[in-house]
Every structure is written in C-alpha cells, then in structure tokens.
C-alpha cells in the first residue's frame, strides 16, 4: 500500500489539506476517540495542530459568542473535527477517489513571525455545520456521504438524530439536482450488532421511497477502526486494486442486506476474494 499521507479537501471551497498521519495511525488513534481518553486525545490534537498553543500560533481561533462554558467545549469541537478528518482520510484509501471533501469550517492562517508561512495556510477549524454532510465523495455515477459522531456513549436519541440528519442531507443533495444514487454511511459508537440499533435503523428505512435512490448503512467507530487496520496490515497489496465500480458493488451488497448489512464486513469479504484470484478480478 502507498503509505504516504493522504491529501483531502476541506471547507466550502474544497482547498487541499494533507493529513499528517497515515492509514494505520488514523485507525489506531480512532480508538482514542471511542474511549474518550483525555491524554491520548490531547496528543492527537497536538499532531493535528488543534491544541490551544497551535491554534494561537496560527491564529486558528474560534469566535465564541457566549461565555466561558462554551470555551470549555473546545475539546468536544476538536473531537468532532478529528473524527471528520480521520473518516475522510481513511475512506480515501478504499478506492483512491479523486477528491474526498470534509465539510468542516476552515481558517486561512499565517504563523506569527514565520517566513515559511508567509503565503498562509488553510487549516481545519470547526466540524461541519448542520446544513451539510460531514464528508462528501462524488464518484459521478454515485455519491457517498459520511455522517460521523465522536460523542462518547451516545444515547438512542442521539442515534436517531444522526440517522435523520443523514437522510435530511441526502434529500437536500437530491433537491439540489443530483440524480444519481446517494449512499449515507453513519459512523459513531453504536453498532448494528445490537438489536435496539437495528430496530431504530429499520424504522427510518421505512420512510425512504425506492424512487429516492437514497441508501443508509451504519457501522461503529470500533468497526471502522478495525477495517482501517485490516486494510493497512492484511490487505496492503489488495486495497489499491479497488476502483469505484467495485466500491459501488460493496455498497449495493451492503444496502441489499438492510439492517443486517455491514459495509466493513462485506468489503473485507471482497478483499479476501481478491487475494484468491491471480488477476484480482471481482467479477
């Protein structure tokens, strides 16, 4: 596998941003988000330049409009933003799409007194706002949107809210004139291994008409992290063979199984098939 760090695009203007971590590192560090480990999270924020000293250095500040309590939410903001950046970067390895766009808000910054930064930097500032998906990847024949949550121990109400948010964003994309299939992948702490989560997803799927060509699937942060580690370790020679048609086949197989469809497991099954065929063909 090409272990060079991924460059994604960020913000409304889709400006380039190179992630300072490779696939394996992001997959491992996702566990820190899931466990809500304070010291480890601070380590990640430092690497990404989201810690307070780095934000101050580059002027990548947040204009808090209320009181000190909101300022204390910076850790939650950084967690959500990190989750969006990691999901974008990790998904970019699955089939090497031309562009993976994280819809986070950005800052155009310049380091204080640094000649190297005289032309400025585009840095992620705050996680995506509620009017857009967290991540968008347009493959022309279909689109994938990622809706992620770094919330620690999210409630069933949180889960329903995220599901409804994904559906809302997909429908807005459809209303804007996009007429190809839209696949929504949800990533948060809750897993479809649990019946209550399956039933919640089942109820929402009833509200989607087949003519909408909108499809939902979900996996947990732990499942996504495991998938990333398997891609980096066990399938480093095979993952590069995937193209958008093959990814589309995985997505179709996932949604066909409804509440029992698990994107991560089906992708691994396909990668196993690639290993067993000399020419690497899936068809």
Residue 37 has pLDDT above 90, yes or no: no
Residue 179 has pLDDT above 60, yes or no: yes
Distance of alpha carbon 126 from alpha carbon 198, whole angstroms? 31
pLDDT band at 94 (very low <50, low <70, confident <90, very high): confident
pLDDT band at 70 (very low <50, low <70, confident <90, very high): low
CATH, domain range 7-275: 3.40.91.50
Residue 71 has pLDDT above 80, yes or no: no
Pull the structure tokens for residue 112. 């204080």
Residue 174 has pLDDT above 80, yes or no: yes
Residue 66 has pLDDT above 80, yes or no: no
* Contact assessment for residue 36 and residue 29, using Cβ atoms and an 8 Å cutoff: no
Residue 278 has pLDDT above 50, yes or no: yes
Please identify which residue in the block is written with the tokens 């063979």. 241
* More reliable by pLDDT, 115 or 44: 44
Cβ neighbour number for residue 173 with a 10 Å cutoff? 21
Q: Name the 3-class secondary structure at 22.
A: coil
Pull the structure tokens for residue 16. 């380039």
Range list of H helices, 72-191: 74-95, 156-175
Helix (H) or strand (E) run with residue 233 in it: helix 221-233
Distance of alpha carbon 267 from alpha carbon 47, whole angstroms? 30
Q: What is the DSSP letter of 181?
A: -
Which range among 6-20, 112-126, 229-243 shows the weakest confidence by mean pLDDT? 112-126
Question: Which pLDDT value is given to residue 113?
Answer: 54
Helix (H) or strand (E) run with residue 217 in it: strand 214-220
* Contact assessment for residue 175 and residue 280, using Cβ atoms and an 8 Å cutoff: no
Question: Which pLDDT value is given to residue 196?
Answer: 97
Range list of H helices, 52-112: 52-58, 68-71, 74-95
* Contact assessment for residue 264 and residue 226, using Cβ atoms and an 8 Å cutoff: yes
Q: Where are the domains of the chain?
A: 7-275
Question: Which pLDDT value is given to residue 119?
Answer: 52
For 189-237, how does the pLDDT look when each residue is reduced to its tens digit (9 = 90+)?
999 999 999 999 999 999 999 999 999 999 999 999 999 999 999 998 8
Q: How many Cα atoms sit within 13 Å of 43 on the Cβ side?
A: 14
pLDDT band at 118 (very low <50, low <70, confident <90, very high): very low
Distances (CA, A) of 8 to 20, 54, 91, 96: 11, 21, 10, 11
Q: What is the DSSP letter of 47?
A: H
Question: Which pLDDT value is given to residue 274?
Answer: 79
Query: What mean pLDDT is reported for the chain?
Result: 89
Question: Which pLDDT value is given to residue 283?
Answer: 45
Helix (H) or strand (E) run with residue 201 in it: helix 195-205
Report the share of the chain in percent with pLDDT over 90. Answer: 70
Distance of CA 196 to the CA centre of its chain: 24
| Average pLDDT of the residues in 107-117 | 64
């Amino acid at each position: 596998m090409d272990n060079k760090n991924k460059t994604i695009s960020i913000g409304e203007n889709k400006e380039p941003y190179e992630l300072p971590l490779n696939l394996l590192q992001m997959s491992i560090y996702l566990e820190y988000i899931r466990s809500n480990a304070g010291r480890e999270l601070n380590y990640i924020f430092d690497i990404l330049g989201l810690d307070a000293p780095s934000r101050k250095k580059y002027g990548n500040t947040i204009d808090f409009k209320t009181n000190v309590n909101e300022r204390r939410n910076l850790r939650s903001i950084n967690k959500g933003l990190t989750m969006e950046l990691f999901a974008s970067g990790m998904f970019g390895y699955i089939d090497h799409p031309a562009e993976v766009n994280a819809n986070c808000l950005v800052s155009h910054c310049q380091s204080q007194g640094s000649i190297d930064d005289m032309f400025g930097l585009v840095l992620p500032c705050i996680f995506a706002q509620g009017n857009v998906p967290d991540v968008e990847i347009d493959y022309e024949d279909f689109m994938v949107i990622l809706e992620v949550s770094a919330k620690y121990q999210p409630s069933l109400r949180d889960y329903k809210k995220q599901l409804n948010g994904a559906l809302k964003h997909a429908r807005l994309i459809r209303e804007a004139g996009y007429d190809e299939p839209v696949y929504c992948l949800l990533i948060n702490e809750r897993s479809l291994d649990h019946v209550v989560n399956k039933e919640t997803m089942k109820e929402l799927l009833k509200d989607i008409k087949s003519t909408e060509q909108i499809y939902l699937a979900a996996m947990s942060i732990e499942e996504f992290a495991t998938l990333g580690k398997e891609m980096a370790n066990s399938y480093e020679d095979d993952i590069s063979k995937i193209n958008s048609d093959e990814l589309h086949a995985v997505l179709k197989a996932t949604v066909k199984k409804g509440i029992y469809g698990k994107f991560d497991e089906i992708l691994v099954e396909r990668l196993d098939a690639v290993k067993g065929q000399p020419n690497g063909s899936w068809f």
